Structure 1
Amino acid sequence: MDQKKLNIIETSIKLFAKKGFSSTSVQEIAKAANISKGAFYLHFDTKDDLLYELFEHYWRRMQKRINEVSSTPMTPKEKFIHQLKVSMEEVADHREFIIMQIREQVIPFNDMIENLIRRMRYHSVMFYRNHILAIYGSEAEPFAWEASLTVQSLFKTYIDLMIMDNMEFSLLKVAESIANKMDAVMEGYKSGHDCPVITNEVISRVIPENFQLNQMKDIMTQLQEIYDQENDVDLKDTADLLLQELTSKAPRPAVIKGMVFNLERYDEYIDLSSQIRAHYM
C-alpha cells in the first residue's frame, strides 16, 4: 500500500478511537496526518471510503499473519494455537482499531462496508469451524458450527479483558487454554448431553450476500471469476492452475502451496488464499 495512504489510515484510526467516527472530520484527519485536505481526497473519495479501506487493511494484515502460520509444519492443534496467538498479537498491536469498533455502536455503514464486515464475521466463524474439523475429524461435523461460536466467544472475552481492562497475559498460554477448553466443549457434545442449536440451516440464513455455505464451491467460483475477469496474465495463470489442481482426483499439495503463495501477492485475494489454505494446507 502507498505509504501516504497508510499514514492516513493509521492516523485516522487513532482519531476515530478517541473521538468517534462520526465526530471526526476530514479536516482533522488531514491536519493530524500532516497533509492538505486536497491530498486526503487524492486517496479517498469520502470518509466512508477511508473506513472501508481501514477495515480491509487490518483484516488483510491479520490474514497474512495467520497464513504465515499455515505454511509451517505443525499438528492441527498446534497450528490452531499459534494462529490464535498471532491473532491476539495483531489485536494488541492495533488496540485503537478495536476501541473504535467498541466505541462506535452505530457506524453509518454504506452497503459496501456492511457487506465487508459480514464477510469478515463469517470468515472468522469459518476459521474456528475448519480448525475444529481438522482437529477432531468428521465426527465433529454435527457440532462444528455451535462449537465454533462457543470458542469464538471465549476468544472475544480474553480480547475484551486485554483491550478494555488493560490486562496482560502470556498470549501463548491464553491460546493453549482456549484450545484445551475446546477439547472440553467437544467432549460435552460427543457425550450426547447437549444438542447443537446452531446448524447448517441456521447458518445459511445469516451468511453474507453472494457467500456460499459450501466453502469449496465458493473457492471454485472465485477462482473462475479471476480467470474470466482479470487481465493480469500471472494472476489468470495462477487461477487456472488452481482450478485444475483442486478439481483433480489427486490434488498435489506442493503445487497448491506454490499457487497460493502467488495468489497472496495480491492484497484483494488474501481472503481467498486463506480459504484455500484452510482446506488443503
Structure 2
Amino acid sequence: MKEKEIAIIEASIKLFAKKGFDSTSIQEIATECNISKGAFYLYFKSKESLLLAIFEYYYHQIKSRLEALEDKNLTPRQLFVEQLAGQLDEVQRHKEFIIMQTREHAIPFNNEVANFIKIMRIQTQQFFQNALLSIYGETIRPYVVDLTLMLLGIINSYFELIIFNKSDVHLNYLARFILKRMDSLVEGFKASDEVPIVTTNPFGVSPETHELGKDGLLELLSQAILEHKLAGDLRISLEVLESEIKSDTPRTPVIQGMLATLNHENSLAELQEKIAGYFKIKLL
C-alpha cells in the first residue's frame, strides 16, 4: 500500500471517529491530508471504497503482527500470550478505528465491506479456537466452541475497558490473566458431565474433523477475491467456483476444471487444495 494511501486512511479514521462516516465529507478528508479533492480520487474511487480499505488495512496490520510471532520458538501457551498481548496493543494503538465502528449504530456498509467484516470475524474466531486446541489438546474438542465463545466474551470486555475507560493495563499480564481464567474453565468442563451448549460450529470449521465446511470454503473464496484483488480469468474462475459451491447440486467436473486454472497461482494453492479435498477431487 502506498504511503499516501496510508496517510489518507489514518486521517479518515480519526475524522470518522470524531464526526461519523455520514457527516465526514471527502473534501474534509482531503483537507486533513493536505491534498486536493481530485487527488483523493487518484487513490480511492469513493468514500465507500476508502471504508473497505480501512478495514483491510487494520486487519492486515494485526494479522502480520500475529504471523510474525509464529516464527519464534514458543510453546502454544507462550505464543497465545504474545499474540493476545499483540492484539490488545493494536486495539490500544488504533482506538479511533474501534470508535469509528461504535460511534454510530449503523455504518452504511456495502456488500464488499459487510463481507470483509464477516470474514474478519470468522477468522478471528477460528484463530482463537485453534489456539485453544493447541494449548489444551484434543480432550477439549467436544466443547471447544463454547470455550471459544467464552474467551471472546472475556477479551471483548477488556477491549472495551482499554478503549473507553482509558485504563492503564499491563498487556502481557492481562493476556496471562485471561489464559489462567481459561485454565479454570477447561478444568470445569473436564470435571463436568454437562452437554455443550453449541454442538455445531458457527466459525466455518467443524470441531469434529477440523475441516472446512461449505460456508468456510465460501468465506475463503470471498477473501481471496478481496485480498488478491483478482481480475480477468482468475476472478472468473473463483466466481464460477463460488457459484458451484453454493449450488444444491455442484458439478464436480466444472469445479475440477476451474481448479485447474489456478495451478500456476501460488497464492491460491492452499485454497485450491481445500476445495479439492472437500469435494474429493483429484487436481489436474
**Coarse TM-score class (shorter-chain normalised):** 0.7 to 0.9
Moved more, 170-179 or 183-192: 183-192
Q: Is the 8 A contact 2:125 2:203 kept in 1?
A: no
Uncovered stretches (5+) of structure 1, i.e. residues with no partner: 206-211, 248-281
Give yes or no for contact 1:223–1:240 (8 Å, CA) kept in 2. Answer: no
Asked which structure has the greater CA Rg, the reply is 2
The answer on whether the counterparts of 2:116 and 2:223 sit within 8 Å (CA) in structure 1 is: no
**Bigger relative contact order, structure 1 or 2 (CA pairs below 8 A, ≥6 apart):** 1
**TM superposition shift of 1:188:** 1.6
What is the number of equivalent residue pairs in this alignment? 239
Correspondences of 1:138-177 after superposition (within 5 Å): 138-177=138-177
Query: Cα deviation per residue 1:205-250 (whole Å; 9 max; x = unaligned)?
Result: 9xxxxxx537997899799999x838xx9x7346559978xx9xxx
Residues 123-151 of structure 1 deviation map (CA, whole Å, 9 limit, x = unaligned)? 11111100111111111111111111110
Whole-Å Cα distance in 1 between the matches of residues 50 and 187 of structure 2? 45
Read off the aligned partner of 2:160 and give its amino acid letter.
Answer: D
What's the CA shift string for 1:183-206, capped at 9, x where partnerless? 11111211225432222255569x
Distance between the aligned counterparts of 2:197 and 2:79, measured in 1? 28
Is the 1:189–1:195 contact (alpha carbons within 8 Å) kept by the matching residues of 2? Answer: no
* Partners of 2:120 and 2:223 in 1: CA distance: 19
The 3-state SS of whatever aligns with 2:40 is helix
Query: Residues 51-90 of structure 1: matches in 2 within 5 Å?
Result: 51-90=51-90
What is the CA distance between 1:167 and its match in structure 2? 0.4
Distance in 1 (alpha carbons) for counterparts of 2:89 and 2:19? 25
Q: Is the 8 A contact 2:119 2:223 kept in 1?
A: no
Distance 1:224 1:110 in 2: 18
Partner of 1:264: none
> 1: CA distance between counterparts of 2:53 and 2:137?
37
Q: What's the TM-score, normalizing by structure 1?
A: 0.75
**1:196 equivalenced with 2:185 (yes/no):** no
Q: 5+ residue gaps in structure 2? A: 206-211, 236-261, 277-284
| Distance in 1 separating the partners of 2:159 and 2:223 | 34
Q: Distance in 2 between matches of 1:3 and 1:13?
A: 16
TM-score (norm 2): 0.75
Q: Quick check: 1:131 aligned with 2:131?
A: yes
> What CA deviation, in whole Å up to 9, does each residue of 1:64-114 have, x standing for no partner?
000011111111111111100100111111111111111122000111111
